[in-house]
Chains A and B, each alone.
Chain A
């Protein structure tokens, strides 16, 4: 078994042209989507809470690159990126944000609550940490059915302090459940930094007392995420039980739309944007490898902007749900 202190080995990270262009496109789709969501929020079209994923795109796209069809995904409330990475329709996601009938939950869920049986996306959960035993339960079902599938259970550094993390990890290792605990460490649980909230700041060690191996991953590098994700999934899929990935990432925007972000400096954010941006990094892989030109990438961006524009238009044209929907979907 790998040691709980193992960190990602520096391997020769490389990818094909097609792979890199796919990752670039998938990450940029999330970014453009989130920018538009932020804009629609500012215009009053999106209400309530809206937690943007900008800066963290390499995490879900990297994991998506190594998951197999039928593997499940579950996460917390910062979930737009996960849904888009799973292949859920940007129109349906955006229309859910605007609370319209064309939304994936018919407008009844909102930003934090969308699901897709087809894409094996199990939400979208608003209670911090609740998705962790739920994700272990998805893995329990995989083992019960012996279907060879793996559950990717995402949560943040903040959620990693919830008691149910440890309850779920204990059972997952005890029963060797095929679950990857993906900790998206973006350094701030709302406004509280990791060092102010965690007695052990190496979150890949969260499973250490249960004997669950873990590794620390550079979440701003799509290829590093992919590499670590592949090893973790292999571990879980071959019956060795759960694995903890601490993927170090960064959220550029506030915790939610109404976060003035006074707990960190503008310089800190700018530093990351300038030097560690995951999309720029992928762009460098592409350009340095001679896989595409700046113009090619601009063309992708243009195409994505059009997709997002159509999603936004759809989200504003789709009507609000019928009032008769109030009392539907409570019971089967």
Chain B
């Protein structure tokens, strides 16, 4: 049967074009790849190639014709043994009816998309009589990795100075001695490269823990964290994922200047496909890092250099694994809710002490996980206290506090007695001078002031 040659779409947006020139005439034979016409689009003049072999039976649209619609028949190509008499009305009309382009037609669909809602899971039960061991945060993190590496041979650690040097912040201390250089891998200074290499190893079934000496350096690697790790499960229709933990210290340390002091909570918290954890206490650091290593998804684990030396009680249990996506009320109160995470918890708890002396009862919620976000715990708290202050070390615009504030106004608007307030880093790169640095960062006094503001005191 004669084959219609249709006006092609030559770009994702083209709907019509000018057939500027025919390079063949009726009776010419063509084979696949031969240029047969030139077509002008809104962007360029393009050459059009034949796809099928045959003879030009009829030129339907003459050269110079403008506004030729995509998918209109512009010529008829005859197969071997056919001639012009075979071009009948049927083949013409069949050809000129434009195919339905699915993207342009909302097809009837039985199910509307619904976003799955977050279901909170309670913390694990700690059996009565469990001994609590005072542990510094860096060791709690180390213990989590060591335990998981003992449990699963596919877990390994890689990063700069993680092995021989024992970790730039000693978080990987003694891992090399126990697990050897195959599983504790010193990398060159090559963040983009080793982040990608880790993701590739994850595609192949290993469970890498990739340490960034600081999350500031992960800016070099963010493409692999987001484009390669977070999006692949979706892009593959669910058949390929990547069980990987990216971890390291986040946010400001102490007078290390603007390039080493950024808080990336909001950046990663923005990305579907990632799990983002930013714990405060030693116990949470251990229980959540163990959960992160076991989780089949890519996890961004944001630690804090200024917390590495902090002590806290960690339950001495065989398998202390905490649920991801569950906030924790770390101080009960009735007058105001302070929602925070990571080192912000320290400022919030300190502020709560000061406020208690003044007769104000503050409830402190440690978000612990930023994605999936347990907004429910904050909302329930605000329904009780009627006031909200958020605290974070990142910048205010588009930040974690902005998200929490929106969640609360959306779901507990009628409970609010005052507009929520945010305590954040000032909207500046972090300065080096001690006085300016202190001025830029959040602290307990700023939290106290924000609480008083929402209480109209």
| Chain A residues near B (Cβ < 8 Å) | 35-36, 38-39, 41-45, 47-49, 54, 72, 74, 98-100, 103-109, 113-117, 122-127, 130, 132-142, 144-145, 151, 163-164, 167-168, 170-171, 174, 252-253, 257-258, 260-262, 266, 273, 316, 319-320, 322-332
Instruction: Pick the residue among B9, B115, B232, B296 that contacts A44 (CB under 8 A).
Output: B9
* Known A324-B112, A328-B238: A47·B197 in contact at CB below 8 Å: no
Expressed in whole angstroms, the minimum distance between the Cβ of A300 and any Cβ of chain B is 15
In the complex, A107 Cα to B201 Cα: how many Å?
26
Expressed in whole angstroms, the minimum distance between the Cβ of A33 and any Cβ of chain B is 12
Chain B neighbourhood of A44, CB < 8 A = 9, 70-71, 99, 101
Chain A neighbourhood of B238, CB < 8 A = 106, 328-329
Is the Cβ of A35 less than 8 Å from the Cβ of B116? no
Q: Per-position contact with A for B104-122: 1 when CB-CB < 8 Å, else 0?
A: 0001011111111000000
Is B198's beta carbon under 8 Å from chain A? Answer: yes
Q: Which residue of B lies closest to A106 (CB)?
A: B237
Is the Cβ of A35 less than 8 Å from the Cβ of B182? no
Is the Cβ of B192 less than 8 Å from the Cβ of A164? yes
Chain B neighbourhood of A41, CB < 8 A = 8-9
B residues 268-319 near A (Cβ < 8 Å) are 272-273, 275, 296-297
Q: Per-position contact with A for B163-186: 1 when CB-CB < 8 Å, else 0?
A: 000000000000000000010000
Is the Cβ of B6 less than 8 Å from the Cβ of A42? yes
Is the Cβ of A43 less than 8 Å from the Cβ of B200? no
Can you offer 10 A-B residue contacts whose CB atoms are under 8 A? Answer: A44-B99, A107-B237, A122-B204, A123-B232, A123-B240, A133-B194, A138-B204, A257-B9, A326-B113, A332-B296
Q: Which residue of B lies closest to A164 (CB)?
A: B192
Is the Cβ of B199 less than 8 Å from the Cβ of A137? yes
In the complex, A113 Cα to B99 Cα: how many Å?
25
In the complex, A301 Cα to B240 Cα: how many Å?
34
Is the Cβ of A330 less than 8 Å from the Cβ of B234? yes
* Known A141-B201, A170-B190, A273-B33: A43·B223 in contact at CB below 8 Å: no
* Known A44-B70, A137-B198, A142-B204: A105·B114 in contact at CB below 8 Å: no
Chain A neighbourhood of B198, CB < 8 A = 137
Is B407's beta carbon under 8 Å from chain A? Answer: no
Chain A neighbourhood of B14, CB < 8 A = 258
Is the Cβ of B193 less than 8 Å from the Cβ of A320? no
In the complex, A98 Cα to B114 Cα: how many Å?
24
In the complex, A323 Cα to B296 Cα: how many Å?
25
Instruction: Pick the residue among A48, A116, A141, A145 that contacts B200 (CB under 8 A).
Output: A141
Chain B neighbourhood of A260, CB < 8 A = 43-47
